[in-house]
Amino acid sequence: MAFPQLMGVINVTPDSFSDGGQHQDAEEVLDHVNELILDGASIIDIGAESTRPGATPLSYEAEWARLEPVLADIIQQCHEQDVRVSLDSYHPENMKKAVEAGVDWVNDVSGLRHPAMRDIVVQSECHVVVMHALDVPVVKGQVLPPEVDIIAFMRDWCRNTTQELNQMGIATERIILDPGVGFGKSPRQSWALLQHIEEWRGEARIIIGHSRKSFLTLFTQQITSPRDELTRCVSASLAAQGVDYLRVHDIAGHYRMFEALQ
């Protein structure tokens, strides 16, 4: 059984819902990157803007002020260890700089809505993560109507998104789709998607960012440790369903779990 590759999360933000404020000092950021790599991460995803419900959107200038002190060093540190770097941003101004600096993945939570972001991907060799979302940042309470067939909806979105990107000149091999757990979906809708991956995924690779997300309140009200345990339980199911990548906070716990399952 092949297991998903693990994407480690680096938040250089003061207000991320899961670990905001922990890794803002440049030296601490680099230490944490190295820790994630040693724990088993094969991709490092850097974010400088929180997308939690109610978060205040950042200007691209403010986002770059957070990224610039650490981005080049993270890229160098990762590439020296054969680890890919992803930038989580919907600002094309900053993504262009990041691609020029050497990031490997464009991770756009807005789904490449900005034409300039599409151009950046087309003109580069980067892989692109496209996420489904109704709004970024999340608007609390704004979700798809309960009568929507969430499986059919996501199947159509995956097919249409892949076709649109292909028509732009982006090969399927470069596309990674993210269903956007918690982004415009109720906890039950998110859980339904995670239980039925094969029913909606298309030809592109799939990444799931379910770590510590609000749908886990279906099972616990705790914010961190119990959510990490539940996250790993869900991850085991996702691995069995052939998901390609998991974006998680607890890299070490996941790596140990997959070793045990192996």
* pLDDT above 70: percentage of residues in the chain: 91
- What number of other Cβ atoms are within 10 A of residue 245's Cβ? 23
Over the stretch 151-201, which tens digit does the pLDDT of each residue have?
999 999 999 999 999 999 999 999 999 999 989 999 999 999 999 999 999
When pLDDT is cut at 50, 70 and 90, the band that residue 34 belongs to is: very high
So what's the pLDDT on residue 262?
Answer: 87
Over the stretch 93-145, which tens digit does the pLDDT of each residue have?
999 999 999 999 999 988 898 999 999 999 999 999 999 988 776 677 789 99
Quick one: which of 248, 242, 244, 243 has its CA closest to 230? 248
Tokens standing for residue 90: 């919907």
Quick one: which of 254, 141, 132, 260 has its CA closest to 193? 132
What residues does 6 pair with on adjacent strands?
A: 246
Domains and CATH numbers, the chain: 5-261 (3.20.20.20)
CA 73 to chain CA centroid, Å, is 21
Give every CB contact of residue 96 below 8 A, 6+ residues apart in sequence.
116, 120
236, 253 contact by CB (below 8 A): no
DSSP single-letter state for residue 109: T
**pTM for this predicted structure:** 0.91
